[in-house]
Amino acid sequence: MSRVGVVVLLAACLAATGACVIPGSSARAAHSPAIGDTCLVGRWNLQESVNTDGYTFNNAPLRVAGLRGATMTFAVGGTGSEDFSESEPLLGTTADGGKLAITIRGSWTFRIKGTAGHYAETGNKTDLPTTATFNGKVVDYHSSYSPGNGSYSCSSSSLTMTTNDQVQTDSWSKG
């Protein structure tokens, strides 16, 4: 078979199956999707986000948890988006017992690559519409999301992502 024929056959095979054996050899050409780990592909529903000290109130780090109902979608091409339009607030308690509730809305898009339990996101920092109350009174609060990296574990029904600095862990279910 001519070199051109092998190249055409290989390209057709990769397009159809993602992996091919080159005729006349034991060499295998594999197509790796842009996202890396295809377990990540799909729509995910946030069960809980726990952030130990990435949020602050009155210049003091604050543990917050919540955001149940946010959704995240990953495409095989490596694009990702997260939407907070239906999420519950993040809730935190200050050292003196004050109650902070942070409601985040809007969405952000980014690119993601997951390989061997590690993920890396790229894209732009995105400011998100945010309202907050402290002990029931509206306070000025600002939120933004930036691409990050960390570790993940994925199955057909669940995804857990933890940032490299171990500050935030998000638990997702497939949906």
Per-residue pLDDT of 73-94, as tens digits, reads 999 999 999 999 999 999 999 9
> Total domain count for the chain?
2
Q: 44 and 130: one domain?
A: yes
User: Buried (b) or exposed (e) across 5-14, using 16+ Cβ within 10 A?
Assistant: eeeeebeebe
Tell me, yes or no, whether 17 and 89 share the same domain.
no
Residue 112's pLDDT is 98
* 106 & 142 share domain: yes
Asked if the model's pLDDT at residue 14 lies above 80, the reply is: no
Cβ–Cβ < 8 Å for 103, 71: no
Enter the pTM of the model: 0.81
d(CA 6, CA 10): 6
Query: Per-residue pLDDT for 111 more than 80?
Result: yes
pLDDT of the residue at 24: 52
Domain that holds residue 27: 1-31
pLDDT tens sequence across 58-72: 889 999 999 999 999
> Which tokens is 60 given?
């003091």
| 78: CATH | 2.40.128.280
Judgement on whether residues 24 and 49 belong to the same structural domain of the protein: no
Same domain, 53 and 7: no
The verdict on 72 and 147 lying in the same domain is yes
